[in-house]
């Protein structure tokens, strides 16, 4: 084998690995930064009661239009300087929308501890999936379509349950959401590590949505099964 071609090949591989590591590092940093506007949005929402003042129907429409509109904007701006500010605006909006659930849980006597438990549980899921993504060597691309179908079915069932108002279905959907979006964290991080996702803003959006859904589902379950009220 030609030694020069071997050196060139090694240099290309090193460059490729460096690029993947850079995208992964930027994804982690932006993910950490995105938690700031999320917490700020939730705090403002709870303090002002702006989301709670909306009827459930109006709240659902605002959530769907706002979240999908901002996600579309993120995809349009992900390769420009506006990409990060638009993503942070999205995470602020998502925090604001989370304030209805957070406020309801805070109304319980042990609400603050339930929120911390949900936060710790979500952190454990993320660390577990991040570790797993760096250990697993096989390509997980085939998982994508099944997870996407699962997420769509969850969304449709969630909207249906808005009208049905079934507690049993809500609990079932929350449990399924934790499983599906935990797998999504693994899938999205593995895509970055394998070089299939090269844009850190898109990667951050995917992982953020999964973390958000895991936290929301955990908090809902803890509020149902672990909540206590003052006598």
Burial of 59 (0-12, 13-18, 19+ CB in 10 A): middle
Contact 195, 30 (CB under 8 A): no
Burial of 112 (0-12, 13-18, 19+ CB in 10 A): exposed
Q: What is the pLDDT of residue 165?
A: 87
Asked if residue 33 belongs to a domain, the reply is yes
Q: What is the pLDDT of residue 14?
A: 59
CB count within 10 Å of CB 224 equals 13
**Following DSSP, what letter does each residue of 206-223 receive, concatenated?**
HHHHHHHHHHHHHHHHHH
Asked if residue 146 belongs to a domain, the reply is yes
Asked if residue 230 belongs to a domain, the reply is no
Asked if residue 15 belongs to a domain, the reply is yes
Per-residue pLDDT of the chain (231 residues; tens, 9 = 90+): 555 455 444 454 556 888 888 999 999 999 999 999 999 999 999 999 899 889 888 999 999 999 999 999 999 999 998 999 999 999 999 999 999 999 999 988 888 999 999 999 999 999 999 999 889 888 888 888 999 999 999 999 998 988 888 889 999 999 999 999 999 999 999 999 988 889 999 999 999 999 999 999 999 999 888 766 654
Q: How many residues are recorded in the chain?
A: 231
Number of structural domains (the chain) is 1
Asked if residue 231 belongs to a domain, the reply is no
Q: What is the pLDDT of residue 7?
A: 44
Instruction: Quote the domain boundaries for residue 86.
Output: 3-225
Place of tokens 């079915």: 153
Asked if residue 71 belongs to a domain, the reply is yes
**What's the pTM value of the predicted model, to 2 decimals?**
0.88
Asked if residue 58 belongs to a domain, the reply is yes
Q: What is the pLDDT of residue 138?
A: 84
Asked if residue 211 belongs to a domain, the reply is yes
């Amino acid at each position: 084998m030609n030694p020069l071609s071997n050196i060139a090949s090694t240099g290309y591989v090193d460059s490729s690995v460096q690029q993947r590591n850079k995208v992964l590092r930027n994804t982690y940093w932006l993910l950490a930064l995105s938690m700031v506007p999320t917490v700020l949005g939730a705090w403002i929402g709870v303090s002002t009661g702006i989301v709670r003042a909306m009827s459930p129907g109006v709240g659902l429409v605002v959530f769907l239009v706002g979240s999908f509109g901002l996600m579309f904007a993120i995809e349009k701006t992900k390769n420009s300087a506006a990409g990060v500010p638009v993503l942070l605006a999205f995470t602020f909006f998502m925090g604001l929308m989370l304030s209805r659930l957070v406020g309801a849980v805070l109304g319980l006597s042990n609400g603050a501890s339930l929120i911390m438990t949900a936060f710790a549980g979500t952190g454990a899921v993320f660390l577990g999936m991040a570790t797993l993504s760096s250990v697993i060597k096989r390509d997980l691309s085939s998982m994508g379509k099944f997870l996407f179908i699962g997420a769509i079915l969850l969304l449709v069932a969630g909207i249906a349950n808005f009208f049905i108002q079934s507690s049993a279905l809500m609990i079932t959907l929350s449990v399924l959401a934790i499983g599906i979006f935990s797998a999504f964290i693994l899938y999205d991080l593995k895509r970055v590590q394998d070089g299939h996702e090269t844009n850190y803003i898109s990667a951050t959006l995917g992982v953020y949505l999964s973390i958000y859904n895991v936290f929301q589902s955990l908090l809902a379950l803890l509020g149902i099964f672990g909540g206590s009220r003052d006598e």
